Amino acid sequence: MAKVLIAQGGGPTAVINQSMVGAVLESRKFNNVDLVYGAFHGVRGIVDEELLDLTQETTHNLEMVANTPSSALGSTRDKPDLKYCQEIFKVLQAHEISYFFYIGGNDSSDTVRIVSDEARKANYAMRCIHIPKTIDNDLVVNDHTPGFPSAARFVAQAFIGANLDNSALPGIYIAVVMGRHAGFLTAASALGKKFPDDGPHLIYVPERVFNVDKFLADVKATMDRYGRCVIAVSEGIHDEEGVPIAVKLAKNVEQDAHGNVQLSGTGALADMLCDEIRTKLGVKRVRGDTFGYVQRSFIGCVSDVDQREAREVGEKAVQYAMWGDSDGSVVIDRTGFYSSDYRLVPLETVAGKTKVMPDEFIADSGTDVTDAFRLYLRPLLGSGMPDAYRLRQNLVPRVLNP
């Protein structure tokens, strides 16, 4: 009888539990599966032997957890090296795990790749499958990644509101959106735009070099045109040398084990950009928000397309493992407008690689998206997207000062 182990890694998403529950429930349908385990806090929980028996969980509660954002098994920022992966393999072997599923981004897929190598070298029979997840939408091969559509929906909805707020009390509004190297999530702000004069009027993604003088000129031009300005900025914007604008002014730079600088969980970038505008352009009403952790774990703002696909990549991973004869990473293909399907690709195809926005999604101005991007993203946001309406401008003739 076989044992299954499932773990979640990296930043939580609104639908990562769908994938976990999809893998658990699908595993339990196979006769050869005896027990389904979950690791507490990803690979960290494996090496610490902190495992949960998910076979003892009720289907009802699993369904409730599937609809709950963030990683129910806990996550980790540990990026295992070879030694760490050997530790992981030792525990998997000790618990006689035959199927290992790791839900995560490109760092997690690299971990699966190394563990898979270790198992093969040791002649230990184990299927290792990576299940995709990341709000950054930066996994290669995949048309998009589970978690991104829901985060994108939050960002689009937030910008609908931010634009309306800025329209009611005009001024300059900047919101910083997550995204270290890939601008997909920041670009999603454009889907909050309905009328031609709606914000975001300016969108800055890490795929383009950020120049402060150019930025100020863009803002001034927008103010001259609309008397207000709504701006979406990716936390990962950087100068010509690739130095993040956020790092330039952050006093305490914190790095995680992956060598990544802390860009989230601080309002510094938004505040600095606001200061620049106040000082250089002399505009008084300048406001900066940083969407922060709310955008990836907000409950009650989820794309149903994302939920379905996150569930399915979990289910498909188990099917590939049980019926197939190779390890790999599950990827999403777009097959229609809108439909999708899944494939298993070799781990090395996805592991450790980063996708960024293609040029065709970024307008020539460098501060807007193209219709190709709108066509790409809109179906992913799912059904029931809220919509903003405005009053028609039937002006009353002046009496005192005609």
Site for a second copy in 114-173 (CB under 8 A): 157-158, 160-162, 164-165, 167-169, 173
The residue count for binding a second copy (CB under 8 A) is 89
**136 in catalytic set:** yes
- Minimum gap (Å) between residue 307 Cβ and a second copy: 13
Of residues 71, 84, 83, the one with CA closest to residue 40:
71
Q: Which is nearer to a second copy, 217 or 299 (CB)?
A: 299
3-state DSSP call for residue 289?
strand
Task: Tell which one of 199, 288, 328, 382 touches a second copy (CB under 8 A).
Answer: 288
- Buried b / exposed e over 115-154, threshold 16 CB at 10 Å, is bbbbbeeeeeebbbbbbbbbbbbbbbebbbbbbbbbbbbb
Stretch that binds a second copy, among 182-190, 270-278, 336-344, 346-354 (CB under 8 A): 270-278
For position 2 contacting a second copy by CB under 8 A, the verdict is no
For position 284 contacting a second copy by CB under 8 A, the verdict is yes
Cα four-point dihedral sign 104, 109, 114, 116: positive
Q: What is the number of other CB atoms lying within 10 angstroms of the CB of residue 3?
A: 21
Catalytic residue (choose from 136, 138, 198, 327): 136
Q: Whole-angstrom distance between the N-terminal and C-terminal Cα of the chain?
A: 87
For position 286 contacting a second copy by CB under 8 A, the verdict is yes
For position 383 contacting a second copy by CB under 8 A, the verdict is no
For position 305 contacting a second copy by CB under 8 A, the verdict is no
For position 304 contacting a second copy by CB under 8 A, the verdict is no
Work out the burial of residue 387: count CB atoms within 10 Å of its CB; fewer than 13 is exposed, 13-18 middle, 19 or more buried: exposed
Residues with Cβ within 8 Å of residue 125, at least 6 apart in sequence: 98, 119
- Residue 338 corresponds to which tokens in the numbers above? 């809108």
Task: Tell which one of 7, 23, 25, 91 touches a second copy (CB under 8 A).
Answer: 91
- Minimum gap (Å) between residue 267 Cβ and a second copy: 1
- Minimum gap (Å) between residue 365 Cβ and a second copy: 25
Q: Which residues are known catalytic residues?
A: 136
